[in-house]
Structure 1
Amino acid sequence: MTTLESLHHPGRLVGPLWAVAVGHGPPLVLLHGNAESHRVFDRLVPLLAPRMTLVGLDSRGHGRSPRGTGELRISRMADDVADVMAELDLAGVPILGFSDGGNIALDLAARHPGLAGPLIVVGANLDPSGLTPATKLMTDLEHVACRSASRFVPGLGWRVERLALMATDPAIDPAELQAVTQPVLVVVGERDVIRPEHTDLIVAALPDAELLRIPRVGHMIPIDAAPQLALAVQGLLRRADRSPGPVAGLHAAR
């Protein structure tokens, strides 16, 4: 069994994914977004690492994780996280997922009951219709253009795959979220690329969820609103340790 201590800088490959740990205290798993790595959470490190061990995972084909074989899908990436959490003995540990990482966290919790602890999902969507019309149009156009160009420029294949994760994925049925019974905090920016009504759908579909909309912020919350996100993490984990009720100090809304 790989230990968290062995993952401190520079990290190592655990099963299919590159993993790195920083900090001291109870663990929190971090799942990044599309075309990123665990480094997207760098601004959270000084805010949370003194109180907890942050375990950053690079998704398949991202950061330092190998691409592997087969189709790149959110569901498969969630299965990768399940494998790593089992290897690291992290069952029941809270997960913070941003963007595609939030999608992965929801898919993981729905299909692997009991593995994930409380969830903080930031800028997540259940399917491509959750994107704002302008964002979806730009994504679809770029996906089609890159897919066509990749026939002549093979190096564009990686871009086509990552765009497909937004253009055709994820595919999570809201009914599946009934299996996610742990506390969930859904976080979005006031100017996010996720449609507000789609975020409301996610919150309504989860048995124990609260919503935090951060004013004057877009999609890149871990970078642009790290202090607010750190407070959200701490608030949810305090609530999960006590009993169901409002997240302390977050002005959450249903």
Structure 2
Amino acid sequence: MTNNIKMADGTTITYDFYPKRGAKIILLLHGNGGSRHYFEQQLQIYRTNLQVLVPDSRGHGGSTNTQSKLTFMQIVNDIHTLLLTLKIEKVIIVGFSDGANLAMLFTKHFPNMVEKLVLNAGNINLQGVRLSGLLVDYVAYFMLKIFSLLFTSLRRVAQQKQLLVQSPKMSWEDLAQISVPTLVVAGSLDIIKKQHTKQIAANIPDSNLRIVPGVGHTFGAKFPIRFAIMVMDFIQE
């Protein structure tokens, strides 16, 4: 069930794959600093009707990173290589946080491989993050960057945090080119600004917006069954 694949640069990508003959494939992309295990409590719902593919992003979980930096495009290209290797032509993508950013970026570069999108708490630029959260990210990144010069064990976490102070290379015009049905989800207490989430939905032509009252950034982890049912309802529409 758990497998590894080597990228051209020697990086190892770890992933779980749950096959189901003839079923559509859902690709689950976790957030910054997380791993494929973020979705564990949701899997029982998805596996009922779908094949499920859950990778650890480069430099996260069981996946390595042979490069000195970590970028969104590296991870997007890893996902593309993984799908080609597994001979998967089309996927439904569910992305959480940085995973949602990766889902949008992947759709920009490989639109023909995407059937539907679920974007949970994503942002296309740093202006979409509440100032309090952004300040924490910057402080954490710079502190880790400094200490990683002394302690090599911190370099991996510093690379992960670097993604939090990078803008995914997406524009509002890029979102307007997304032609697949899309569900945009965020909590009313999310660290992503509510107006930014609304703008993402407004710029994707075929999109639905759900702002969930009383929940924060990790809606899918705190209420996994509720989140997964919402996703399945959208997929089956």
CA distance change for structure 1 residues 233 and 23 in 2, over 3 Å: closer, same or farther?
A: farther
How many aligned residue pairs are there? 231
Give the match's secondary structure for 1:11: strand
Q: How does 1:20-39 map to 2 (within 5 A)?
A: 20-22=16-18, 24=20, 25-39=23-37
Instruction: Tell me: higher relative CO, structure 1 or 2? Use CA pairs within 8 A at least 6 residues apart.
Output: 2
**How far apart are the structure 2 equivalents of 1:196 and 1:177?**
17
1:109 aligns to what SS in structure 2? Answer: helix
Aligned-partner SS, 2:93: strand
Uncovered stretches (5+) of structure 1, i.e. residues with no partner: 1-8, 240-254
In the TM superposition, residue 186 of structure 1 has moved relative to its aligned partner by 0.7
Post-superposition CA distance 1:116-169 (Å, at most 9, x none)? 110111111112221111100111111122222222223222122111101123
Match of residue 213 from structure 1: 211
Deviation of 1:23 (Å): 6.0
Q: Answer yes or no: is 1:228 the counterpart of 2:226.
A: yes
**Partner secondary structure for residue 111 of structure 2:** coil
What amino acid is the match of 2:230?
A
Question: Does the 8 Å contact 1:95/1:118 carry over to 2?
Answer: yes
- Report the alpha carbon displacement of residue 14 of structure 1 after superposing the two structures with TM: 6.2
Answer whether contact 1:30 1:95 (CA < 8 A) is retained: yes
Correspondence for 2:186 among 188, 192, 206 = 188
Match of 2:125 among 120, 124, 127: 127
Of stretches 208-217 and 17-26 in structure 1, the one that deviates more from structure 2 is 17-26
Asked if 2 retains the 8 angstrom alpha-carbon contact of 1:59 and 1:77, the reply is: yes
Cα distance in 1 between the residues matched to 2:2 and 2:98: 24
1:81 corresponds to which letter in structure 2? I
Deviations 1:156-207 (A, max 9, x none): 2212211110112323212111221101101111111101111112111212
Q: Does residue 13 in structure 1 map to residue 5 in structure 2? A: yes
Q: Which residue of 2 aligns with 1:251?
A: none
Residues 30 and 210 (structure 1), Cα distance of their counterparts in 2 relative to 1, 3 Å cut: same
- In 1, the alpha carbon distance for the partners of 2:137 and 2:116 equals 31
Give the conservation status (yes or no) of the 8 Å contact 1:33–1:101.
yes
Q: Tell me if the contact between 2:33 and 2:161 (Cα under 8 Å) persists in the aligned partners.
A: no
